[in-house]
């Protein structure tokens, strides 16, 4: 067949503009690439690179977001011949959307309508595009659910979106996108909002569907590890332009452009720390002076001791809003952090890792257990003493856009703790704040700015400076780098390691990202359903995982290396059961087996 | 000092101009216009459409609408703005404390507010006004109290939302006292909602005063207020629509001006509206 060599999609000199208040803003400047039938092309880039705008242009959906295709051609080889999407009329577009091009979005919760059953949402499209009868459409919907391997498909049809887990919801969305057997599937960050095990399931599902149906996939993502796992070809974008294009192995092994090289250098790869005794800063391109690596003090000295910490949130219900059940967020967790050490808590959403961090600071009040910082009890402290205790432990939050007061100058926000704890007075305050800005590598001119004038990474530096102001012994970093672009993430991680090396601060590093955790931590604790299921040194947990949950978590992590594809044919992980328990339920205490010195594994079966 | 950017937009300028003009009228009209001009009844020109003698027409008693609407400005503005100010003075701390403290404090305060909310605002104002007696000061108190629960509810909701923001938690661990948290971190972030709600309340307060006047509890004839004029016009809408249009336009222009001014004020307070500095 001669047609085989013809591309399915060919994008030529695409230019997209958005109407801004002061004239047009260019979303995509000049991008050209093509997609062959049956091929997976990954478009990768950081926020603002124009990768989503490019994919939305292919469906002409940019117009709904106020954008306009102002130049170039978007040729799509539909069943009826080649169509230029950039200039097609609305009827043609309606016939293509959802029919010849399917699309799946980032947020599986918002791309399904909460008031319709799964059956209703699926059959609507089938009846419209394919003209099926109600029965035929239902039968086809069931067939599609089986194709995406949803357990108990008959029952799912009658359910509403909120009754399904995040992974199942994304499967339904994929089933809907597959309904008309599209020639091209556009997946815009389809796994970004999902846990790593569910991400692995969805990636393997997309891979299988692609092989079975022969459709092409345009995969948009910011995650180099995902790219390495699924792509045939890669398109790297930056600020509305195409930077580099090539086969996946070539991009990873022999990147030609500096930007691609810098991007790859910033991605931590699971397993690359094997055999190294201590955390190691990332080697960033253009940053010759390697940040100092944190070294542990010779004699381990415990700083934070958490024993049998339990936190439950009441669930209110009924006429009088009585407590009807409890969410067991943290269940009998014990660990120690030594001075100058980083302990990472990893786990999937809802495992209690954030609640654990908050309970230590008593931002959430623990139900029982003991927390000691430097031999001093934290749980029993009154309001006033607790405030004083915060001098020694500070928190850095996940969302840099929400953790700074939008109405306050940055200088004042960093100066607040200095004044409140009476650490500096008068002109000394200004000097200390300036010093802290130097410390986190921000220009002093930023001091009189407001938060909105900074980028996400810069804001996170300010948040770190604020936490550092009191010279704390412990910083709890709750997903502190998760919202940042990879290159910025690497810089912030290096900053944290540098601060540890120079100031001897201990970190409780809460994260869902195994590769990042492997980079920064001395010791690692894995959490599952509120329990610490395994804890040990980084090497023990990463190289000799014992608990079945740790193992399955590791197997699900995508590795940023196309020669090590771990996303298998069919990945199925057991869904995490609900942490909701009836009133008065007293679970067994956590008991551990010590498999090696300092390496503890939970004995109890927790499911 | 340069005018903030938010006031330099066309909407901001127009709003500010309208508010200024209305304030000037409220302050100076009673000094310039003798009272008897507004009460003089021209019996041969009752319900007269606009003429040279009466540029905005006359009402059912032949009184000049232009003079009445100019003189009525002070009564309406004073009552409405004082009443709204009063509802802010009571409602703001109530809502802030309720939203910040939560638990029992919140429950007690909000049940109190709910009790007030259960009465229609006008009925409540009517009762208070009837008990205290009809005069300017009592009208203000009546409307002020009647409007307080709405404001308190809105502020509580906002305070509840803002109190959960990470920057408030971060400020807590930075050693701030409860008072400082509320004043420095929560209050500035709920001000947009307070400003928007206040400008809307002002419009309703002008009309509430009319309702009270109609029932003989607000402004007493022959004094003029916009609300009273609108109420009086209701029987003549078909024959003399200008009797309603003139005071109605005054209310509408005031509300429009206040809304645009309020939006500009909100934007001027928001650091995000300023360019990089």
A573 contact partners, CB below 8 Å, separation of at least 6? A197, A198, A200, A201, A552, A556
How far is the alpha carbon of A417 from chain B, nearest alpha carbon, in Å? 5
Q: Would you state the pLDDT for residue A326?
A: 84
CB-CB neighbors (< 8 A) of B270 in chain A: 406-407
User: Among B165, B173, B184, whose Cβ lies nearest the Cβ of A394?
Assistant: B173
User: With an 8 Å Cβ cutoff, are B165 and A450 in contact?
Assistant: no
* Domain B17-39+54-273 class, CATH top level: mainly alpha
Q: Where are the beta strands (DSSP E) in A92-215?
A: 101-104, 184-188
pLDDT tens, position by position, A225-256: 889 989 999 999 988 889 999 999 999 998 88
Contacts of A295 (CB under 8 A, 6+ apart): A278, A340, A501
Give the model's confidence band at A206: pLDDT under 50 very low, under 70 low, under 90 confident, else very high.
confident
Q: Could B173 and A395 be called an inter-chain contact, meaning their C-beta atoms sit closer than 8 Å?
A: yes
Euclidean distance between CA atoms A152 and A146, whole angstroms: 9
Residue B269 with chain A: CB contacts under 8 Å: 407
A548 in Cβ contact with A533 (< 8 Å): no
Beta strand A322-338 with A302-317 is: antiparallel
Strands (E), A98-188: 101-104, 184-188
Distances (CA, A) of A323 to A327, A581, A585, A595, B110: 11, 12, 13, 40, 21
Phi, psi of A152 (to 5 degrees): 50, 60
> Which of A387, A397, A406 lies at the smallest CB-CB distance from B170?
A397
Contact A405 B172 (CB under 8 A): no
Which of B30 and A309 is assigned the larger pLDDT? A309
3-class DSSP assignment, residue A195: coil
Task: Round to whole Å and give the CA distance between A213 and A485.
Answer: 34
Mean pLDDT over A13-38 rounds to 84
Model confidence band, residue A4 (pLDDT cutoffs 50, 70, 90): low
Q: Indicate where chain A has its CATH 3.40.50.300 domain(s).
A: 3-100+184-264, 302-392+472-602
For residue range A118-153, what is the model confidence (pLDDT) as tens digits?
898 888 878 877 788 888 889 989 988 888 878 788
Which candidate, B88, B85, B266, places its Cα nearest to that of B189?
B266
Residue spans of beta strands (DSSP E) within chain B? none
Q: Which among A450, A456, A454, A442 has a CA at the least distance from the CA of A409?
A: A450
B185 touches chain A (CB under 8 A): yes
Higher pLDDT, B26 or A306: A306
Please tell me the predicted confidence (pLDDT) of residue A337. Answer: 93
DSSP string, A93-108: HHHHBTTTEEEE-S-T
Contacts with A442 (C-beta within 8 Å, 6 or more apart), sequence order: A458, A461, A462, A465
Please answer yes or no on whether B173 and A363 come within 8 Å at the CB atom.
Answer: yes
User: A418 to chain B: nearest residue by CA?
Assistant: B174
| Amino acid A390: pLDDT | 92
| Per-residue pLDDT, A156 | 87
- Residue B99: CB partners within 8 Å, gap ≥ 6? B106, B155, B156, B157, B158, B159, B160, B162, B163, B186
Separation between Cα atoms, residue A137 and residue A126, nearest integer Å:
6
Nearest CB neighbour to B166, from listed A361, A390, A397:
A397
How distant is the Cα of B104 from the closest Cα of chain A, in angstroms?
13
pLDDT class for A290, splitting at 50, 70, 90? low
Q: Please identify, in words, the CATH class of the domain defined by A3-100+184-264.
A: alpha beta
The pLDDT of residue B27 is above 90: no
Longest CA pairwise span in chain A (Å): 81
Closest CA to A101 of A182, A17, A221: A182
Structure tokens at A382: 């009154």
Backbone phi, then psi, for B203, in 5-degree steps?
Answer: -60, -45
DSSP B173-239: HTT--HHHIIIIIIHHHHHHHHHHHHHHHHHHHHHHHHHHHHTTSSSPTTS--HHHHHHHGGGGTTT
Lowest mean pLDDT among A21-25, A570-574, B196-200: A570-574
State the residue for tokens 């009228």. Answer: B25
3-state secondary structure A221-239: ECCHHHHHHHCCEEEEEEC
State the average pLDDT over residues A336-353: 89
Q: Where are the beta strands (DSSP E) in A239-301?
A: 241-247
Chain A residues with CB-CB distance to B193 below 8 A: none
For domain A302-392+472-602, the CATH class is alpha beta
Query: Tokens 């419209």 label which residue?
Result: A128
Residue with tokens 């590791």, as numbered in its chain: A554
Instruction: For chain B, give the percent of residues with pLDDT over 90.
Output: 16
Inspect the interface and report whether the beta carbons of B270 and A407 lie closer than 8 Å.
yes
**B275: nearest CA in chain A?**
A453
The pLDDT-based confidence of A335 (bands split at 50, 70, 90) is very high
| Residue with the larger pLDDT of the pair B45 and B105 | B105
pLDDT at B277: 36
- The span from the CA of A135 to the CA of A155, in Å, is 16
Q: CA of A413 to nearest chain B CA: how many angstroms apart?
A: 8
Cβ-nearest to B166 among A399, A449, A470: A399
Of B173, B180, B271, the CB nearest to A406: B271
pLDDT digits (tens, 9 = 90+) for B218-256: 777 777 788 788 888 888 888 888 888 888 888 888 888
Model confidence at A588: pLDDT above 50: yes
For residue A288, pLDDT beyond 70: no
Q: Residue B245 contacts by C-beta under 8 Å, 6 or more apart in sequence?
A: none
| Chain B residues close to A416, C-beta within 8 Å | 171, 174-176
B171/A416 Cβ within 8 A: yes
Q: Residue A73: which region, alpha, beta or left (left: phi > 0; alpha: psi -120 to 50)?
A: beta
Tell me: pLDDT of B87 over 90.
yes
Bigger pLDDT: A133 vs B35: A133
Q: What is the DSSP letter of A590?
A: P
Which element (helix H / strand E) includes A141?
helix A134-147
- The CA distance from B13 to B4, in Å, is 11
Sign of CA pseudo-dihedral B234, B236, B241, B246: negative
**CA dist B204 to B137, B145, B207, B251, B265, Å?**
18, 13, 5, 10, 20
SS3 B265: helix
Chain B hits for A387, CB-CB cut-off 8 Å, are 175
Degrees, nearest 5: CA angle B238-B241-B243: 125
Local confidence band at A1 (pLDDT 50, 70, 90 cut-offs)? very low
pLDDT band at B156; cut points 50, 70, 90: very high
* Nearest-angstrom CA–CA distance, A136 and B13: 62
Closest Cα in chain B, distance from residue A536 (Å): 30
DSSP secondary structure string, A468-513?
HTT--SEEEEESTTTTS-HHHHHHHHHHHHHHHHHH--EEEEEES-
A397 CB neighbours in chain B (<8 A) are 166, 169-170
How would residue A570 be classed by pLDDT, with cut points 50, 70 and 90?
Answer: low
From the list B164, B146, B257, the residue with the least C-alpha distance to B205 is: B146
- Distance between CA A51 and CA A241 in Å, rounded? 9
| Token duo for residue A412 | 């004042």
Interface probe with B: pick from A407, A411, A456, most Cβ of B within 10 Å: A407
Segment B108-134 mean pLDDT: 82
Q: Domain ranges for chain B, please list them.
A: 17-39+54-273
Rounded to two decimals, the pTM is 0.82
Question: Is residue A55 within 8 Å of A220, Cβ to Cβ?
Answer: yes
Nearest Cβ partner of A420 from B165, B170, B175? B175
How many whole angstroms separate alpha carbon B277 and alpha carbon B260?
25
Residue B203 in this model has a pLDDT that exceeds 60: yes
Which segment of A324-338, A459-473, A530-544, B59-73 scores lowest on mean pLDDT?
A: B59-73
Residue of A360, A361, A416 to mutate, testing the B interface (most B Cβ within 10 Å of its Cβ): A416
Count Cβ atoms below 10 Å from residue A355 Cβ, excluding itself.
26
| Tokens linked to A245 | 């294009």
| Residue A52 contacts residue A61 (beta carbons within 8 Å) | no
* pLDDT tens by residue, A387-436: 989 999 999 998 888 899 999 999 999 999 999 888 888 888 999 899 89
CB proximity list for A93: less than 8 A, separation 6 or greater: A59, A60, A85
Mean pLDDT of chain A: 85
Residue A296 has pLDDT above 90, yes or no: no
Yes or no: say if A161 and A120 are a contact pair by the CB < 8 Å rule: no
State how far residue B252 is from chain A, nearest Cα, in angstroms: 29
* Chains A–B, number of C-beta pairs less than 8 Å apart: 76
pLDDT of residue A3: 47
Residues of chain B found within 8 Å of residue A363, distances taken between Cβ atoms: 169, 172-173
Query: How far is the C-alpha of A491 from the C-alpha of A516, rounded, in Å?
Result: 12
CB A591 within 8 A of CB A604: yes
**Percent of residues, chain A, with pLDDT higher than 90:** 19
Average pLDDT over residues A483-492: 84
Using an 8 Å Cβ cutoff, are A330 and A358 in contact? no
pLDDT at residue number B90: 92
Summary mean pLDDT of chain B: 83
pLDDT at residue A414, as a whole number: 93
Burial of A241 from C-beta contacts in 10 A (0-12 / 13-18 / 19+): middle
Categorize the per-residue pLDDT at B168 as very low, low, confident or very high, splitting at 50, 70 and 90.
very high
Does B171 reach chain A within 8 Å, measured CB to CB? Answer: yes
User: CB–CB of A406 and B184 under 8 A?
Assistant: no
């Amino acid at each position: 067949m001669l047609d085989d060599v013809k591309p399915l999609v060919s994008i030529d000199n695409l230019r997209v503009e958005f109407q801004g208040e002061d004239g047009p803003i260019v979303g995509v400047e000049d991008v050209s690439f093509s997609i062959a039938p049956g091929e997976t092309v990954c478009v990768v880039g950081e926020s603002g690179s124009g990768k989503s705008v490019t994919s939305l242009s292919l469906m002409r959906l940019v117009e709904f977001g106020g954008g306009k295709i102002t130049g170039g051609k978007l040729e799509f080889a539909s069943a009826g011949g080649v169509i230029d999407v950039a200039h097609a009329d609305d009827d043609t577009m309606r016939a293509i959307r959802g029919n010849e091009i399917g699309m799946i979005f980032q947020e599986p919760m918002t791309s399904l309508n909460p008031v319709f059953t799964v059956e209703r949402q699926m059959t609507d499209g089938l009846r419209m595009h394919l003209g099926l009868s109600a029965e035929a459409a239902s039968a086809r919907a069931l067939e599609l659910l089986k194709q995406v391997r949803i357990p108990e498909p008959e029952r799912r049809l009658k359910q509403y979106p909120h009754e399904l887990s995040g992974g199942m919801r994304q499967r339904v969305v994929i089933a809907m996108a597959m309904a008309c057997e599209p020639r091209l599937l556009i997946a815009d960050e389809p796994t970004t909002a999902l846990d790593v095990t569910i991400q692995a399931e969805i990636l393997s599902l997309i891979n299988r569907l692609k092989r079975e149906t022969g459709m092409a996939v345009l995969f948009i993502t910011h995650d180099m590890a995902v790219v390495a796992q699924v792509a045939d070809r890669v398109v790297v974008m930056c600020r509305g332009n195409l930077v580099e294009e090539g086969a996946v192995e070539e991009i990873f092994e022999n990147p030609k452009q500096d930007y691609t090289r810098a991007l790859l250098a910033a991605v931590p790869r699971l397993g690359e720390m094997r055999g190294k005794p201590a955390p190691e800063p990332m080697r960033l391109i253009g940053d010759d002076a390697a940040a100092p690596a944190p070294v542990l003090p010779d004699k381990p000295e415990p700083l934070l001791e958490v024993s049998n910490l339990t936190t439950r949130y009441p669930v209110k219900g009924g006429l009088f809003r009585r407590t009807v059940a409890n969410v067991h967020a943290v269940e009998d967790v014990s660990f120690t952090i030594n001075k100058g050490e980083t302990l990472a808590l990893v786990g999937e959403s809802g495992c209690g890792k954030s609640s654990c961090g908050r309970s230590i600071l008593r931002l959430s009040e623990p139900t029982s257990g003991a927390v000691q910082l430097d031999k001093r009890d934290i749980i029993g402290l009154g309001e006033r003493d607790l405030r004083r205790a915060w001098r020694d432990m500070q928190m850095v939050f996940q969302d840099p856009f929400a953790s700074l007061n939008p109405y306050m100058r940055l200088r004042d926000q960093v100066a607040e703790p200095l004044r409140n704890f009476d650490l500096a007075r008068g002109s000394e305050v200004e000097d200390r704040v300036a010093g802290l800005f130097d410390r986190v590598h921000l220009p002093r001119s930023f001091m009189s700015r407001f938060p909105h004038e900074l980028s996400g990474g810069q804001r996170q530096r300010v948040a770190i400076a604020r936490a550092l102001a009191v010279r704390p012994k412990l910083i709890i970093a709750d997903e502190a780098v998760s919202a940042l672009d990879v290159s910025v993430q690497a810089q912030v991680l290096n900053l944290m390691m540098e601060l540890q090396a120079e100031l001897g601060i201990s970190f409780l590093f809460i994260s869902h990202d195994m590769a990042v955790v492997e980079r920064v931590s001395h010791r690692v604790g894995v959490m599952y359903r509120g329990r610490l299921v395994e804890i040990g040194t980084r090497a023990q947990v990463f190289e000799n995982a014992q608990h079945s949950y740790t193992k399955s978590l590791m197997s699900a992590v995508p590795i940023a290396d196309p020669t090590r594809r771990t996303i298998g044919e069919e990945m199925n992980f057991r869904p995490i059961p609900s942490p909701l328990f009836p009133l008065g339920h007293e679970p067994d205490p956590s008991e551990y087996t010590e498999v090696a010195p300092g390496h503890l594994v939970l004995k109890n079966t927790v499911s | 000092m340069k005018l903030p950017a938010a006031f330099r937009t066309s909407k901001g300028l127009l709003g500010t101009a309208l508010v200024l003009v209305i304030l000037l009228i409220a302050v100076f009209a009673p000094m310039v216009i003798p009272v008897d001009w507004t009460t003089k009844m021209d019996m041969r020109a009752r319900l007269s459409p606009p003429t040279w003698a009466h540029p905005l027409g006359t009402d059912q008693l032949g009184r000049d609408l232009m003079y009445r609407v100019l003189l009525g400005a002070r009564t309406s503005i004073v009552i409405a703005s004082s009443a709204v100010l009063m509802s802010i003075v009571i409602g703001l701390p109530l809502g802030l404390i309720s939203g910040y403290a939560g638990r029992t404090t919140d429950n007690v305060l909000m049940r109190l507010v709910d009790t007030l909310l259960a009465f229609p605002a006008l009925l409540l104002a009517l009762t208070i006004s009837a008990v205290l007696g009809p005069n300017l000061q009592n009208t203000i108190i009546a409307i002020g109290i009647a409007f307080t629960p709405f404001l308190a509810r809105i502020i509580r909701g906002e305070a509840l939302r803002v109190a959960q923001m990470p920057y408030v938690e971060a400020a807590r661990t930075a050693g701030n006292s409860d008072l400082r948290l509320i004043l420095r971190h929560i209050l500035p972030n709920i001000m947009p909602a307070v400003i928007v709600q206040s400008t809307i309340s002002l419009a309703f307060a002008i009309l509430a005063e009319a309702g009270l006047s109609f029932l003989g509890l607000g402004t007493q004839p022959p004094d003029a207020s916009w609300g009273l004029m609108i109420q009086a016009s209701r029987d003549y809408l078909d024959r003399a629509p200008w009797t309603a249009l003139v005071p109605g336009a005054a209310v509408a222009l005031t509300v429009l001006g206040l809304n645009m001014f309020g939006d500009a004020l909100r934007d001027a307070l928001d650091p995000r509206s300023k360019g990089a500095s």
